[in-house]
Amino acid sequence: MSTIEVEHASRWYGNVVAVNDVTMDVGPGVTGLLGPNGAGKSTLLHMMSGFLAPSIGAVRVDGVPVWHDHELYRTIGLVPERDAVYGYLTARQLAVASARLHGLPRPEEAADRALAMVELTDAADRRIDTYSKGMRQRAKVAAALVHEPEVLLLDEPFNGMDPRQRLHMMELVQTMGQEGRTVLFSSHILEEVERVAEHIQVIIAGRLAASGDFREIRRLMTDRPHVFTIRSSDDRRLATALIADRSTTSVEVGGEGLRVLAADFGRFTWLVPRVARDLTVRLREVRPADESLESVFSYLVTQ
């Protein structure tokens, strides 16, 4: 069980600050690193994997700085975004090579295990340049897993995959999180992060904008009313009762039900079932309409 600690780390290239004073801890389980393109996700991942030193600040794993610590590299696996694989190798050869580079005592066995984990055993002896995009990603993941790292960093792992491959990769990531590994993956596709990650870290223009569970983050956004959609057996009566309460900012009565802006999340969620019961109005659907990661994200981007 390992924890990645980033403490006031910045990384710049001349005047371009790729990562700007970021402090975060990433523990066991699956964490999603979310941000628009160019926000600094790749740079941060490379700093965590020891490929890049921070310009200032510290990046540590279990208290030990990562940069140039070769012992520590044994515990970290990085799956980079670029197709940095040699197409003429087979997946097995790549995994064995990686195992040898890590100085493992039994490289072929380690490679077999890793290939089995990503379910590439059948195709393992074909050249990588005959693989589909999803299989290439899996080959890269296998090479990053041979040394059984405690920490696994994946840069945009679902890029360009079709639904079946993506589903498989998501399950793989979740499994590794459940095994107690510290898994951090970056993405700019909100749907993916929403589904797979237990925690999220949102990076915008090099700065850490938010951390935690996105629903909790949404509830912290108190300067914005929450949007709910409600369908009931008598929308209008319900609307009248809701608007009478101070927790409700506005109610829109439409063909698809009610659209309610609630200023006070806690009070409103408590209010709805009570009011409905008191009026004997049947609730059919109550849905927070803007609790998607997308909505949280677009709010954070405009901060």
Partner 1 sequence: MLARVEVIIAADRLTRRYPGVTALDELTLEVPPGIVGLVGANGAGKSTLIKILLGLLPATAGGARVLGLDPAREGGRVRALVGYMPEHDCLPPELSATELVVHMARVSGLPATAARERAADTLRHVGLYEERYRHIGGYSTGMRQRVKLAQALVHDPRLVLLDEPTNGLDPAGRAEMLALVRRIGVDFGISVLISSHHLGEIERICTHVVVIDGGRLLRSSSIAGFTERSQLLAVEVDERADDLAARLIAAGIRVREDGSTLLVDVGDDLTYDAVRDAIADLELGLIRMEQRQAHIEDVFRAPRPQEREVEHVIAS
Write out the residues near partner 1 by the rule CB under 8 A.
Answer: 36, 130, 132-134, 160-167, 189-191, 266, 268-270, 272-274, 276-277, 282-288, 294, 297-298, 301
Give the tokens for residue 81.
Answer: 């975004």
In the complex with partner 1, which residue's Cβ is closer, 94 or 161?
161
CB of 232 to partner 1, least distance (A): 9
CB of 271 to partner 1, least distance (A): 9
CB of 64 to partner 1, least distance (A): 35
- Residue 39 vs residues 19, 32, 212, 296: alpha-carbon distances, Å: 8, 14, 18, 16
Residues in contact with 24: Cβ distance below 8 Å, sequence separation at least 6, in sequence order: 6, 201, 208, 211
CB of 149 to partner 1, least distance (A): 27
In the complex with partner 1, which residue's Cβ is closer, 76 or 204?
204
Kind of pairing between the strands at 248-254 and 182-187: unpaired
Q: Which residue has the tokens 């980079």?
A: 80
In the complex with partner 1, which residue's Cβ is closer, 36 or 57?
36
Containing 284, the helix (H) or strand (E) segment is strand 283-288
Taking phi first (over 0 means left), then psi (-120 to 50 degrees means alpha), and beta for anything else, what does residue 29 get?
left
In the complex with partner 1, which residue's Cβ is closer, 14 or 163?
163
Q: How many CB atoms lie within 10 A of CB 70?
A: 8
CB of 290 to partner 1, least distance (A): 12
The greatest distance separating any two alpha carbons of the chain, rounded to the nearest whole angstrom, comes to 73
CB of 115 to partner 1, least distance (A): 20
Name residue 45's amino acid.
Answer: L
In the complex with partner 1, which residue's Cβ is closer, 64 or 116?
116
CB of 283 to partner 1, least distance (A): 5
3-class DSSP state of 173: helix
In the complex with partner 1, which residue's Cβ is closer, 71 or 122?
122
Name residue 102's amino acid.
Answer: H
In what side-by-side order are the strands of the sheet with 199-204? Answer: 76-79, 151-155, 182-187, 29-34, 199-204, 207-212
